[in-house]
Chain A
Amino acid sequence: MERTRTAGIGAGGGVALAARAALVALAACGQVRGEVPDTKVFSYPTSVVADPAGDAVYVVSTNFDSRWQFGWVTPIDGAGDTVLDKAAVETGSFAGQPAFEALAGKASRMILPIRDDDKLTLIDMARDTNGQPVLSCGAALADGRKRCGDDRSIPLGSIAHDPDANVIAVNDPFAITVGQPVVIPGDKDTPETLERPLYVGSLLEGTLLVFALRDGGQPVYQGYQALEQGLHTLIEWPISDDERVVLAGTRSRNVIHVVRIVRKDGAWTSMTEEPVTIPQTSATGDYVRGMALSPRGPVLYAAYRSPPSLVVFDIPADGRPILRNFVALNGLPSEVAVYAPEGGQEIVYVTDYEGDSVYAVDPVIPQVLDRISVGQGPYGIAIAADRAFVADFEEQKVSVVALGLADPDRHKEIKRLP
């Protein structure tokens, strides 16, 4: 049965929708076709995230027009602004935001929600001999392509049930975040391990899933909370090892959901609190998009659309955000990234999907310091190696913006990839 899909980024994409409609029609004719993914390019990228090491980013090609057989994730060398196409890995289409799980040693694993199949995909991350990131999902196929198959998937469609054993729908998983670790003491037979909570949110129903991740193992489902449709971004604020607050932004209402997560008897339980309401000063039906924490203090930033603005919250000891102020922007604020260089002020970068630009905001003064022109339809943004990498959804490119305080090209687009 065909089901409703909520567009990943809301605005634009008319051409993409048309093409997708055509392909749906073709699919109905039993002529599913698609080109072999060309990882040298990007396909309607929504998300870009920075490697935990801070020297590379990963771009999620969503395959939004279904031109290709699959979506894919491509690393970019942060310092060299190079698309590492051979290090890319194919995934399902319509992927959401990736998250990282730090494993023993310096290794990491990527966890990617796939909206098209309502599943999580687990992607191996490694470095080649040159220190460049490489993604994989086990052995390559016979034709040399790297693809994440079912063996790397965690289906979400029937994982959650209510007390009456009815299935809780988890369609269009998009938001995701991995929480801070808690140490699980070992004994004489087993070493000490780290366990992290994993949070996944679905766009369509607003279901929040909680998993436990233990050092590279399969995510173990812990429970769910029914929030509100349009879950876009999840942020964890740790209160203690055993207590966390998950802040969930939703596109469909002027609130930040607050879910308290407690680890008890070896399991993670969740509890919904009253959401934090953002005063309704204008109504567009489109509210909270990307969110990010300040690396320097208990402050939360949210890209907001009613009115277009950056909303700044303080986070007190109980983890419930308190509205500090709005910084008025224009267009369609989408995603947020924070740059806090040593010796420099903290600056918040907000993509404006409608205005093909990125706003640089000083959140303390508070003023917009700069408006940086980038490619068409900028959505996701990540910062690595003193550069901002912006996913230009409509143009299917990635804009590279210099950020370094001493960089002569600071706040200019220095490259558009590929």
Chain B
Amino acid sequence: MNRTTLIPPALAVLVALGCSSTTNTPARIALRPVSMAVTCEDAAGAPLDLASCTDTTSTARAWVVDADVQGLSISTAPGGAHFDADPFVPGFTSLPVGGDPVVVRAPLSSDLVLVALRSDTTTGKPAIAWLRPKDLAPGLELSRASLPCAPIDMQIADIPPTGGGTGVRSILLAYNCGAFTGIAAFPLTALSDAADPRPGERRWPLSAAPRAFSVRPGGGVAWISLAGTPGDSVGRLDLSKDPSDASAVQIAAIDLPVPASSLPVPGCVAASQAGLGTRMLGAPTATLDGAFVYVPLARPAAMAVFDDGMNRIDVNAAVPDVDGSGNPLLQRLGVRDLDLDGPARAIAMFDLGKDATTGAALGVRAFVAEQNGTLARVVVTPNTDNPVAHQHEHSITDGVSNDVDSVAQMPVLRVDGVILTQAIVQNPEYPSFGMADIESDPANSGKSLYYGIRFGGDLKSELSEIWDVTYEGVIPGASGCGTLAADPGATQSAFFTDPTVDFCALGVLEGQDAHPGDVLVITPDPKATCAQAADEVLEYRVVGVQANRLAIEPAYVSVPLPPAGCFDGSPMAYEVRASGAWTVVGARSGFLHNRMSASGQCVARADSNPLFTGRAFTALPEDGGAVLQSCPARLGDSKIGANFAASRFTNAALSFNLVPGCKTDSRFQPIWIPPTRDTRLSFQATSGAVPMSVSVGGLPEEMVVAGTSVFTLDSGTGVVYRVNAVDDTLTESWY
């Protein structure tokens, strides 16, 4: 082709590019919203208490502070109409705040809006700026006063003077500066842009940086999220006490410290401390009666509950006289907090009031804003339908629970590092759960089997999680670095020690009954002088288990124990694997078993439960032979037995059979194939529990209750959502 023929099209492309310029007009108005306040006013524009705000006779006003625009994006509800601070500029212009805003707050009385500024544009120093909603008009300039330090969070509350007494409306600010880390408060009445408003300021120092805080209704106590090292903590500040009173501040750690005895052997690297670190994002929030505080946790996604005495409540414990209360699985897992689907960012309390018919109190609910865009509703004060506090509220329609059956997705097989997503259909040579699709469960009318997986029906135990079923998998936690030592006087046994783990609590098993004992796989120290040092790995049978020590013997004749002294004291990498069995490990449920250690020895747990198990076995022909009825092998293969009942794995959540892979031998007989180590079947289980919640999308950041509405701000997209708090439905939303 003549290359010159390309010139016209190329020029056309250039022209098109030149004409294709478009203006990027975003739908959103708030570009980087960081905080929101809500006020309410009557038809005449007079401020109304937030509790009195209604859809019909008053107007709610949302004040969203935009850190990139450095202004307030102001809108009203119902309707979402925007205030325009500069009518001469197309679109809606935010009201400038004159600095770098961090947080905006308004008192319950709706007569003031306060913005905390990290830096004031005029002075370059931290400041607060404020306005009276009744004065709102285009061109309004906010009043302002300097602060001594960049604020992190701010609240407005009626707090008692030192020693107690009638609350004084005050501004509370959280600081973390070189000169002061803590909470400071000064009376709102002193607010002035003509004089220092802080002469009556009280300052309560904190031992860690405050992240966010809230003030309990009544104003007596502030609850604070503290960012500490190595872990976060919750602070309770008694605002009636003098700052010099050391008992004014109480601290409770979110995580337990790592025991000092768990130091690794010399030469081993300490395990990652990823369990600690940032756990909280938003402010702890007290219940309306002040009896409890709800703490939003980011990881694991949960909500912790403390009582006013700083005692952590186990929300999964059974409640006396309430049948079916408590969650044994979560208790076994040591989970004391309320499990959430996503990291929690904010919490708001709402009183449902009284039943219109009976006049009975409906109780208080907590709205928990999760990072997946969900507002979950939690029972604070129980009622007939929800008899247990600090639990997700049941979702009920016309008296019927909205819970459904749990489901599982098609298992994914991994063999030798290769993922086979359709293995059950395409690869009969590999193990499966024996069913290629979802079918009605012949044993449970109205229920289904999901690729051979059957759920037990107890939704409390059926968590949404990924299950990994691995042939001769590594026992979770039973790996790391340890040392080998000879068994004095014995040539056929030795000991392996790792002081950082508890092998009993991890579920490592010695040989007992039909179980041959787990295997210890060691990567030998190549610097050692014995013959075994040249091997890539050494594998031994576990014949005895203690808290920090395993007794081992040769698993194979070809791999004898190293001679005494060869590896003594040398730190070596190791892992303990199940032997001849599959490990069944849930991402949240973990590896379930019934062992623990006491005085260094393994003992059965007092709460042993056969459903807390994590070992499954391949379902093999009952006659002990190699021949199956057919290949691909499926549930119901007559050689193995109807539904393989004898070898069915059953735990608290689900049950399945591990059906072997198969092939046709030289005589055209279907025979089973032994699985290979690390062959893994993984599947996602999704719980059928449907707790009461409303989806608002995005990153709900803050919540404000006004009348019967809960307002929340999506900091990711700038959308303001208004939720009907009574019936838990989304009323409206706007950018």
Binding site for B on A (CB under 8 A): 14, 17-18, 21-22, 24-25, 28-30, 185, 240, 242, 260, 264-265, 269-272, 274, 279, 281-282, 297-299, 307-309, 312, 314-317, 322-326, 328-331, 355, 363-371
Contacts and interface: CB of A to CB of B under 8 A. Distances in A.
A269 B699 CA distance: 39
A185 B534 CA distance: 12
B343 A323 contact: yes
Contacts of A368: 32, 34, 67
A261 B259 CA distance: 32
B371 A330 contact: no
A269 B417 CA distance: 9
Contact of A21 (B13, B20, B412, B414): B13
Interface residues of B, number: 58
Given A22-B14, A316-B272, A325-B278, 5 more contacts: A14-B17, A25-B10, A281-B697, A314-B274, A314-B278
Given A21-B10, A330-B31, A314 B299 contact: yes
10 contacts: A21-B10, A21-B13, A21-B14, A24-B10, A260-B417, A282-B717, A297-B277, A325-B371, A326-B699, A371-B68
Given A274-B682, A330-B68, A308 B17 contact: no
B363 interface: no
Given A21-B14, A369-B118, A371-B67, A322 B299 contact: yes
A21 B358 CA distance: 76
B273 interface: yes
A355 B21 CA distance: 18
B291 interface: no
A365 B716 contact: no
Contacts of A367: 34, 102, 152
A272 B102 contact: no
B7 interface: yes
Interface in B1-58: 3-4, 6-7, 10-11, 13-14, 17-18, 20-21, 31-34
A328 B3 contact: no
B573 A282 contact: no
A330 B32 contact: yes
B272 A298 contact: yes
Nearest to A359: B32
A29 B716 contact: no
A390 B713 CA distance: 32
Given A21-B10, A22-B14, A367-B152, A282 B417 contact: no
A322 B298 CA distance: 10
Given A240-B573, A271-B417, A330-B68, A282 B698 contact: yes
Contact of B343 (A22, A315, A325, A369): A325
B3 A325 contact: no
B68 A328 contact: no
Nearest to B22: A14
B699 A309 contact: yes
B422 to A, nearest CB: 16
Given A22-B10, A279-B342, A323-B343, A317 B3 contact: no
B17 A314 contact: no
Nearest to B69: A330
Interface in B663-701: 682, 697-699, 701
A28 B31 contact: no
A14 B21 contact: yes
Contacts of B17: 14, 17-18, 21
Contact of A297 (B13, B273, B342, B526): B273
Interface string B336-356: 000000110100000000000
Contacts of B274: 297-298, 314-317
A363 B277 CA distance: 11
Contacts of A30: 3
A201 to B, nearest CB: 18
B67 A299 contact: no
A115 B414 CA distance: 33
B27 to A, nearest CB: 12
B211 interface: yes
B68 A25 contact: no
A314 B716 contact: no
A412 to B, nearest CB: 12
B232 to A, nearest CB: 9
Given A281-B698, A325-B298, A185 B4 contact: no
Contacts of B701: 328
Given A14-B21, A29-B6, A364 B716 contact: no
Contacts of A282: 697-698, 716-717
Given A279-B372, A316-B274, A18 B18 contact: yes
A80 B462 CA distance: 61
Interface string B267-290: 000011111011001000000000
Contacts of B530: none
B579 interface: no
B85 to A, nearest CB: 19
Nearest to B210: A365
Nearest to B176: A365
B620 interface: no
B278 A307 contact: no
A405 to B, nearest CB: 10
Most buried by A among B271, B277, B419, B682: B277
A315 B10 contact: no
Most buried by A among B11, B345, B526, B715: B715
A22 B14 CA distance: 7
Nearest to A313: B299
A206 to B, nearest CB: 15
Interface in B412-460: 412, 414, 417, 419
Contact of B716 (A265, A281, A323): A281
Contact of B373 (A24, A281, A297, A315): A281
Contacts of A364: 209, 211, 227, 278
B323 interface: no
A317 B730 CA distance: 40
B3 A355 contact: no
Given A29-B3, A309-B699, A317-B274, A279 B371 contact: yes
A324 B271 CA distance: 20
A141 B518 CA distance: 65
A299 B277 contact: yes
Nearest to A354: B24
Closest CB pairs A-B (n = 8): A25-B10, A307-B716, A271-B417, A328-B715, A330-B32, A279-B372, A18-B17, A28-B6
A368 B31 CA distance: 13
Most buried by A among B67, B100, B414: B67
A364 B281 CA distance: 8
A264 B417 CA distance: 13
Interface in B392-415: 412, 414
Contacts of A274: 412, 466, 682
A365 B227 contact: yes
A32 B17 CA distance: 22
Given A14-B21, A274-B466, A265 B343 contact: no
B321 interface: no
B536 A308 contact: no
Contacts of A371: 67-68, 100
A272 B417 CA distance: 7
Contact of A25 (B7, B342, B682): B7
B272 A315 contact: yes
Nearest to B20: A14
B31 to A, nearest CB: 5
A272 B419 contact: yes
Contacts of A370: 100
